[in-house]
Structure 1
Amino acid sequence: MDRSPNTPASVPTMVERDPWLRPAAAEIADRGRRFADRLGDIRKWNRSLSDYANAHLYFGIHYDPVRRGWWFREWLPGAKEVFLFGDFNDWERTQYPAERLPDSNGVWSLFLPDKTTCGRLRHGSRVKMYVHGADGTWMDRIPAYIRRVVQNETTKDYCGQVWEPPTPFDWTGDDYDLNTRTARDGGPLIYEAHIGMAQEREGVGTYNEFTENILPRIKEAGYNTIQLMAIAEHPYYGSFGYQVSSFFAPSSRFGTPEELKRLIRRAHGMGIGVVMDLVHSHYVKNTNEGINRLDGTDCLYSRPGPSGQHPQWDSMLFDYGKYEVQHFLLSNLKYWLDEFHFDGFRFDAVTSMLYRHHGISAPEWGLDAYFGDGADRDAILYLTLANELVHEIRPGAITIAEDVSGMPGVTVPIREGGIGFDYRLGMAIPDFWIEYLKDVPDEEWNLYRMWEVLCNRLPGVRTVAYCESHDQALVGDKTIAFRLMDKEMYFSMNRGSQNLAIDRGIALHKMIRLVTSTLGGEAYLTFMGNEFGHPEWIDFPREGNGWSYAHARRQWSLSDADYLRYIDLKRFDRAMVDLLKRYKILSAGYGYRLKIDEANRTLVYEQAGLLFVFNWHPSASIPDYELPVPEPGKWRVVLSSDEERFGGAGRVLSGERSGEYFTYARTDGDGATRNYMRIYNINRSALVFERVD
């Protein structure tokens, strides 16, 4: 059997490395064997996994320059009859029937030559299928592999659009390997963004607006990676893109596929990678727009009956054990990589995929939950194949798993027995901050628990640390800035105001971000606007708000105005990102705790050769505060969250204006000689020291 270099050993390395996993060794090894067997079967009939993942080049609608005409193909095994119609034949439903190919497991095919009356079919034509389903229904449907879907402004219904421009898009000069930049910076610095709500005007933003107006802001902010939400077509705008209807069609409400390509090309030219927020965990239930019941059965892309439905999301679940579904999803990955040059994927709702209970009423997480009957072996196999494929096509691409369960092996390389993701989201970190901000006064925050939460990851489990993402910004929740300052943000963010709630909020906002980014993981993420404390929440147009766009936008001008204090937070975030890159903090591993002083609310640690001092006390600033240092010599402050340019009081100078701090040796009570120095330990501030001699 032709086995991949990633084929796990009979005794997986991840088990040898972690004795806790030994009771699950047989299951972990069996997962590896299933992957190797499936990969071997694929390679038996294809040159490679990448060659196999080309369903999008066969299915859908494609022009044949040799035969001079258009091919239409679709997988609809339960269908009794299938027709293609559209504006090219004046929407006559039954004029052009497709033929069910023999021995194809339900593939329907139609060739439309240019010389016939269907010569009006061309790039830009609007099309639909007319399907006589297995259940006896006749329905107008959109092909599953269609590359563009558009909405009729009058009737509001959707239809497919033939999208095959005569001139290929010119990628010249801007192609880009994501790892080249992130390795230089120490790791991914991710700016999570939504195209539609990225503009300041009330309305739906476009790919072009994002390219011209937002990319320069992200570049200026110092981030090296953009994570784009809501790219695949979705009929309900307010779903944030998580109810996908057409998996191969970039959302037309933002513009054309070429305009999305131009955005990515421009980002690459700026040295910024672009990761797609990918939804392969479920799909929209709608039959008018989506792939549900496309052939008249309830088990085309899903398992039959209730097992094919997600009870909480009112959506459909994929049947990952069906080869045609694997083919569809793997080809979807290759399509976005090849056609749009995305630099990787953030896989949404991986927890729902990993388990048959989808994380609903989940048992206590442990070996029995991770490796017992509740785990979905088919989904695990698909995710392993997906990671193998992404890295085969683009070795520099990154994959990120949104998994709250903490299943062992998610970020372990496939050859060591894992699923092969590069990173996982550190979802416990924002949960911790929300809990503390809601329920615990900051003068009572437990610094030992803070340290434990921020450092709670196994070696080798590369984690994306974040304080808040889009989840915390939605209606029903609050951003950190809004939790800290709430209604006071409406009245007291002007520089002339004297407001203790605003002072506290700005101080803690900076500290929370700095401690999270320097301790929490090997990558860091922020959601657009949150870096400067964007006020209020995200609320998409809906009946309850009068279909308003007032809260589905980003007010960038707030962070540009010198007379408002949002600019202070923006400047600090840029300085923090510069610090992360300059000292490669994200790739430095765990921080080393030097001191927790609960009485004075002070946390001291070393990371990447720097000394971090956080004083969380609401009022106590301590002169001549003694703290341990990792190395003797002369130190200086390279960053202070209390600098005036960050909205602070400027009590400690930094950079070239920093004073010099000299260490001294002292023999402690245990007989050990250690190095110490004394500083002005200012309240609600963070100081970062660098050894200079």
Structure 2
Amino acid sequence: MHALTLIEKDPLLKPFEQQLVNRIEWYQNTKDYIEKHFGSLDRFASAHEFFGFQYDEKKQGWWFRDWLPNASYVSLIGDFNGWDRGANPLRRGNYGAWEIFLSDDEYKDKLVPGSKVKMHVHGENGQLDRIPAYIRQVVQKEDHGFDGVFAGISQYQWKNEFSAKDIKTPLIYEAHVGMATEEERVGTYREFAENILPRIKKLGYNCVQLMAIQEHPYYGSFGYQVSNYFAPSSRFGSPDDLRYLIDTAHGMGIAVILDVVHSHAVKNRDEGLAELDGTEQYFDGWQPDWDSRTFDYKKIEVKRFLASNLKYWMKEFKFDGFRFDGVTSMLYQHFGHVEFTDYSKYFTDTNNDAIIYLQLANELIHNLNPDVISICEDMSGMPGAVRPVEEGGLGFDYRLAMGLPDFWFTLLETKKDEDWHMGDLYWNLINRRKDEKNIAYAESHDQALVGDKTLAFWLMDSAMYTEMSIFNESLVVDRGIALHKMIRFITAVLGGEGYMNFMGNEFGHPEWIDFPRAENDWSYKYARRQWSLADTDHLKYQFLEKFDQEMISLIKEFNVLNTSEDYKLYEDNERKILAFRKADLIFVFNFGQESFTDFSFDTLEKADYNIILSSDDKDVGGFDRIDKEMVYSSKNHDLTLYLPSRTALVLKKKA
């Protein structure tokens, strides 16, 4: 049994062998059922090619279908028929599907792209006008809520061929299209393509992870309360505008990852799936933390809806991967409300139907595109999440290293610099399941939200508003800039097999994120990014951005994150120095306040070295205390160099 592979790699899983075996068997039984009744997993995940609006070339007209098994009457309404609830009733078909055919002869000039549409549904909850589950575009109404939109057939002509096969190390720029403009308003897909993608390209990131793409009624939810799963958010433009963004990214060699939310859905009835046919056919309960509905993963139709959603985004918009949000909430009946202190917690009170769905999802998307990038947001650390399904794993390619930002922010909040323990720091950065790849990050959008602090704000606080001019001397800012560079660099180098940054954090964006809401008088002041701070030559934000660019360049050039072996060469907790070897480079970090003119350590070999990166360079906000032209020789294995305070150095052997 392949599950033994997990146990061979981690003998502590031996007591849970039966659970792993069951996981494989349950998955295989579900897959056998799918193949028997649908022909293949690919055909199973093609519900979006049947439901919603589908053009029939042979009959010359549009079919409209939706899955409403408990409805007693359904009609299609919209501006094409004057919103007449009796004009276009649907016919009940097999397995709860309702359908109607609208011929071109009668409706070609009435049902046109942009036409507003809804369904009128009679169910146990009354007679209501609802947005179809598979609608591909919605628009916000002036008062509140959404109208469905007939999108027609996209006329977008793709220009750039792209494959993520060459991205062996995902360097991810996490971004939100709406808040990517400096102006106090909602940004657009096209503005992001024209203004932000070039910045991402210049910095060297090879992936952009887009948040808040699936339509959501409340802007302030950051896109995590989805209502319309097949509709790109209309706040940012049309579906073709999103295609343009992705096409543009592909032309720059940048993969595009969708932050997909299949862990829960918005509770709203008017905009979303709740009580769509009069009952909760899609849901089985509530997520108490998010006040939202949880999907009923037991139902094959729900698995089909969600799997089809993944295929839709890959085929219709050419997304190169997915970051699955809220996986911990999916994995456990308790939504993750326990301390994962021992292995038994990983196999207790699990939501096995959700696990089967995640396994199906990962097999599906990798069958569709072997180079797809699949990322798991799981704070529990479920063993096998990033292992193949046949081993009893979930099939993800990477998991987010969610403990790293917690480590840094706890350290900054509770300990002074002089109390940092280098061995503890090193251990926290490398402490992960070695056969499961991680995406490291020091901070994401979570740390930038109101109520929390970014790294820059923890380090410099209000000095970011008053002392960031290059003409001002500030010990607070000097310390903050130095540690900001070092924390992000050491996290990237040691923390995983990929790296992620949230937009603006690379230059220490000074303000938190606060979306428009009643409590702030619906202001956009903090739902934006002040790019001009990094572009202004007399402000120090530019130094952080420049170092981020150099850091990413070094990681790529020397394939640092694909080198799994790292070896600690030196640890000094009194002087706050840490040195290690990785990717045939030597990394030296002095987190302390003291500089050392003759710092020596054992490199374990005789060689000559050059310094190829220094966080103390003047153009990245340092003091230019390092001579990078010097050659350093490790005679008798000992290497001696000048090591300034709060500085990171990278040394490379001379050819």
Q: How does 1:525-604 map to 2 (within 5 A)?
A: 525-604=500-579
**2:377 maps to which residue?**
402
**Aligned equivalents of 1:637 and 1:356: distance in 2?**
52
Amino acid in structure 1 at the alignment position of 2:457: F
**2:124 maps to which residue?**
134
Aligned with residue 635 of structure 1, among 609, 616, 641: 609
**1:170 maps to which residue?**
157
Mapped contact 2:596–2:643 kept (Cα < 8 A): yes
3-state SS of the aligned residue for 1:677?
A: strand
| 1:236 paired to 2:225 | no
| 1:320 paired to 2:325 | no
**Aligned equivalents of 1:115 and 1:338: distance in 2?**
30
The runs of 5 or more residues in structure 1 that have no matched partner are: 1-8, 666-674
**1:459 maps to which residue?**
434
Instruction: Give deviations 1:18-49, integer Å, cap 9, x for gaps.
Output: 21111111110111111112112222244431
3-state SS of the aligned residue for 1:378?
A: helix
Mapped contact 2:190–2:241 kept (Cα < 8 A): yes
Mapped contact 2:26–2:356 kept (Cα < 8 A): yes
**Aligned equivalents of 1:653 and 1:450: distance in 2?**
28
**2:145 maps to which residue?**
157
| 1:487 paired to 2:462 | yes
**1:13 maps to which residue?**
5
Amino acid in structure 2 at the alignment position of 1:247: Y
**1:626 maps to which residue?**
600
Superposition deviation, residue 91 in structure 1: 1.3
Instruction: Give deviations 1:367-419, integer Å, cap 9, x for gaps.
Output: 322123x1110000000000000100010001000000011010011122211
Mapped contact 1:94–1:130 kept (Cα < 8 A): no
**2:282 maps to which residue?**
301
| 1:384 paired to 2:359 | yes
**1:349 maps to which residue?**
326
**Aligned equivalents of 2:633 and 2:343: distance in 1?**
50
Mapped contact 1:369–1:375 kept (Cα < 8 A): no
**1:422 maps to which residue?**
397
Instruction: Give deviations 1:502-540, integer Å, cap 9, x for gaps.
Output: 000000000001100100000000000000000010011
| 323-332 vs 589-598, greater mean Cα deviation | 589-598
| 638-647 vs 43-52, greater mean Cα deviation | 43-52
**Aligned equivalents of 1:364 and 1:241: distance in 2?**
28
| 1:369 paired to 2:345 | yes
Mapped contact 1:643–1:653 kept (Cα < 8 A): no
3-state SS of the aligned residue for 1:108?
A: strand
| 1:292 paired to 2:270 | no
**Aligned equivalents of 1:119 and 1:260: distance in 2?**
27
**Aligned equivalents of 2:85 and 2:356: distance in 1?**
40
Amino acid in structure 2 at the alignment position of 1:193: A
Aligned with residue 114 of structure 1, among 79, 104, 116: 104
Mapped contact 2:3–2:390 kept (Cα < 8 A): no
**Aligned equivalents of 1:547 and 1:590: distance in 2?**
50
Mapped contact 2:47–2:305 kept (Cα < 8 A): yes
Mapped contact 2:333–2:351 kept (Cα < 8 A): yes
**Aligned equivalents of 1:380 and 1:449: distance in 2?**
34
**Aligned equivalents of 1:653 and 1:477: distance in 2?**
39
**Aligned equivalents of 1:216 and 1:255: distance in 2?**
20
3-state SS of the aligned residue for 1:525?
A: strand
**Aligned equivalents of 1:482 and 1:398: distance in 2?**
32
| 1:688 paired to 2:645 | no
**2:137 maps to which residue?**
148
Amino acid in structure 2 at the alignment position of 1:82: V
Aligned-residue sequence identity (percent) comes to 50
Aligned with residue 246 of structure 1, among 197, 213, 228: 228
**1:179 maps to which residue?**
165
Superposition deviation, residue 155 in structure 1: 2.4
Amino acid in structure 2 at the alignment position of 1:596: E
The 1:494/1:680 distance shift into structure 2, 3 A limit, reads same
Q: How does 1:35-74 map to 2 (within 5 A)?
A: 35-74=27-66
Instruction: Give deviations 1:451-473, integer Å, cap 9, x for gaps.
Output: 11100012211000000000000
Superposition deviation, residue 346 in structure 1: 0.2
Amino acid in structure 1 at the alignment position of 2:144: K
Superposition deviation, residue 70 in structure 1: 1.6
Q: CA RMSD in A?
A: 1.2
3-state SS of the aligned residue for 1:159?
A: strand
Instruction: Give deviations 1:596-629, integer Å, cap 9, x for gaps.
Output: 11121100101111111111112x1111111111
| 1:676 paired to 2:638 | yes
Mapped contact 1:640–1:653 kept (Cα < 8 A): no
Mapped contact 2:340–2:346 kept (Cα < 8 A): no
Amino acid in structure 2 at the alignment position of 1:659: M
The 1:325/1:365 distance shift into structure 2, 3 A limit, reads farther
**Aligned equivalents of 1:145 and 1:52: distance in 2?**
15
3-state SS of the aligned residue for 2:263?
A: coil
Superposition deviation, residue 545 in structure 1: 1.3
**Aligned equivalents of 1:533 and 1:575: distance in 2?**
16
What TM-score do the two structures reach when normalised by structure 2?
0.98
Superposition deviation, residue 590 in structure 1: 3.6
Mapped contact 1:424–1:463 kept (Cα < 8 A): yes
Instruction: Give deviations 1:100-124, integer Å, cap 9, x for gaps.
Output: 11xx221111112223368511222
Instruction: Give deviations 1:143-169, integer Å, cap 9, x for gaps.
Output: 0000001012x323311101123x642
Mapped contact 1:540–1:552 kept (Cα < 8 A): yes
**2:180 maps to which residue?**
198
Amino acid in structure 2 at the alignment position of 1:326: K
Amino acid in structure 2 at the alignment position of 1:690: K
3-state SS of the aligned residue for 1:211?
A: helix
3-state SS of the aligned residue for 2:143?
A: coil
Mapped contact 1:606–1:630 kept (Cα < 8 A): no
| 1:24 paired to 2:16 | yes
**Aligned equivalents of 2:26 and 2:163: distance in 1?**
31
Instruction: Give deviations 1:29-77, integer Å, cap 9, x for gaps.
Output: 1111111121122222444311221000100112222212221111111
**2:481 maps to which residue?**
506
Superposition deviation, residue 363 in structure 1: 4.7
**Aligned equivalents of 1:117 and 1:623: distance in 2?**
82
**Aligned equivalents of 1:132 and 1:118: distance in 2?**
28
| 1:475 paired to 2:475 | no
3-state SS of the aligned residue for 1:678?
A: strand
Mapped contact 1:113–1:119 kept (Cα < 8 A): no
Amino acid in structure 1 at the alignment position of 2:347: F
Q: How does 1:88-107 map to 2 (within 5 A)?
A: 88-101=80-93, 104-107=94-97
Instruction: Give deviations 1:459-494, integer Å, cap 9, x for gaps.
Output: 211000000000000001010001111111111100
**Aligned equivalents of 2:538 and 2:8: distance in 1?**
59
**Aligned equivalents of 1:312 and 1:563: distance in 2?**
44
Aligned with residue 661 of structure 1, among 620, 632, 638: 632
**1:330 maps to which residue?**
307
